[in-house]
Amino acid sequence: MRTFILSVATLLLATNVIAQTPGYQFTTIVSQEATPVKNQASSGTCWCFATASFMESELIRMGKGTYDLSEMFIVRQKYMNQLEDNYLRKGEGNIGQGSLSHTFMNAYKEVGIVPEEVYSGINYDSKGHNHNELAEYISAIADTAIKLSKRSPEYYKLLNSLFDIYLGKIPQKFTYNGKEYTPKTFATSLGLNMDDYVELTSFSHKPYYQVFAPEVPDNWEHQLMYNLPLDEMMEVIDHALNNGYTVCWDGDVSEKGFSFKNGVAINLETEKIGESTTTDRARFEKMSKEARLQEAYKFEQPCPEVNVTQDIRQQGYEDFQTTDDHLMHLTGIVKDQNGTEYYMTKNSWGTERNKFNGYLNMSQSYVRAKTIYVMVHKDALTKELRNKLGIQ
């Protein structure tokens, strides 16, 4: 067996990520190493792809080498945990495909991890992941157990057979780079401590510097997260990226300003667009709001963006405009020709859907407004903040 190795071209791309979007000229400020972009395809497993990518960068940072970890090994355990939770909640739990970073960490502690080459999770006739049919069968089995108020031995056999059929049988032992492992001994060999990672958010309806469970559907485990003022949450991201760490990011990608195709995510101040472009101001003022948005989001050049305050961020959350859509991996910081900073972002939608090898740049304004939470290694926090939060 062989360790998954980055090609020189991929490394160069990961450290100097985005090729230029027309009208945008980006200069790299800082970039951390990452493994190649993967494709979650027709599966709602971005949470696992983003967190696995983050952990792979952690292994590089720790000097452990380059690994390709199996997302579907973790996803399988996640489905089992969800079904347990849903049954005990009498069918009121969440058995959808989504989850958050801590779901990866919880499953990792339970069952360990294996390399991708040992468990691809595609045991059906498909080039890529496709959980549409699998999800329907999971739902049917879950509903039947609730209806019967019983989980017989056959119930568990049926579940395991279902996952064996679609994802493949779990390897009890395997050989990797000439050594024999179990999933747990392989996890031990990596040296990753899941208790070293912390999730942080920023919402004003809960006290700052304390923990609470964000009220988003994918937080079905009701995980507590540290709540920070917005500026301090952003400082966590910047401090981490500027000091050798990467960041796992969860947020809203349903906005007009999120354009994977164009390689940017922006949060434009539409009222000011006419002041900074060649758009005729008089014509712009006569346009409807929808027409202005279409005019603004042509992604032809940098334009003024919203100055996102804590109140603006909170309003978006409480108006359900900021939703928990997607997890990605922040690997660096770039700036455009106007000096506006963006976060270099590794996605899990493959490399063929945009010209930037599957990366995009999210502006600071977009991240301030649309982040649900971030996850970092606790050592990526300043000593002052760790003391404030009581993190040892």
Other C-beta atoms lying within 10 Å of the C-beta of residue 152: 10
First-to-last C-alpha distance (Å) of the chain: 38
Residues 6+ away with beta carbon under 8 Å from 147: none
One digit per residue, the tens of pLDDT, for the chain of length 392 reads: 333 334 434 444 444 444 455 689 999 999 999 999 999 999 999 999 999 999 999 999 999 999 999 999 999 999 999 999 999 999 999 999 999 999 999 999 999 999 999 999 999 999 999 999 999 999 999 999 999 999 999 999 999 999 999 999 999 999 999 999 999 999 999 999 999 999 999 999 999 999 999 999 999 999 999 999 999 999 999 999 999 999 999 999 999 999 999 999 999 987 665 544 444 667 767 777 777 777 778 898 898 999 999 999 999 999 999 999 999 999 999 999 999 999 999 999 999 999 999 999 999 999 999 999 999 999 999 999 999 999 99
Taking alpha carbons only, the member of 329, 341, 309 closest to residue 374 is: 329
Taking alpha carbons only, the member of 257, 247, 248, 232 closest to residue 362 is: 257
Contact 121, 129 (CB under 8 A): yes
Contact 337, 229 (CB under 8 A): no
Residues 6+ away with beta carbon under 8 Å from 283: none
Kindly tell me the sign of the dihedral angle through the C-alpha atoms of 228, 230, 231, 237.
Answer: positive
8-267+305-389: CATH homologous superfamily? Cysteine proteinases (3.90.70.10)
Contact 50, 348 (CB under 8 A): yes
Contact 356, 263 (CB under 8 A): yes
**Token pair belonging to 165:** 């059929």
Per DSSP, the three-state class of 246 is coil
- Burial label for 271, CB within 10 Å (0-12, 13-18, 19+), is middle
What span, in angstroms and rounded, lies between the C-alpha atoms of 137 and 45? Answer: 17
Contact 323, 371 (CB under 8 A): no
What span, in angstroms and rounded, lies between the C-alpha atoms of 392 and 374? Answer: 19
What Cα–Cα distance (Å) separates residue 360 from each residue in 261, 298, 353?
Answer: 9, 16, 11
What Cα–Cα distance (Å) separates residue 17 from each residue in 221, 264, 374?
Answer: 34, 12, 21
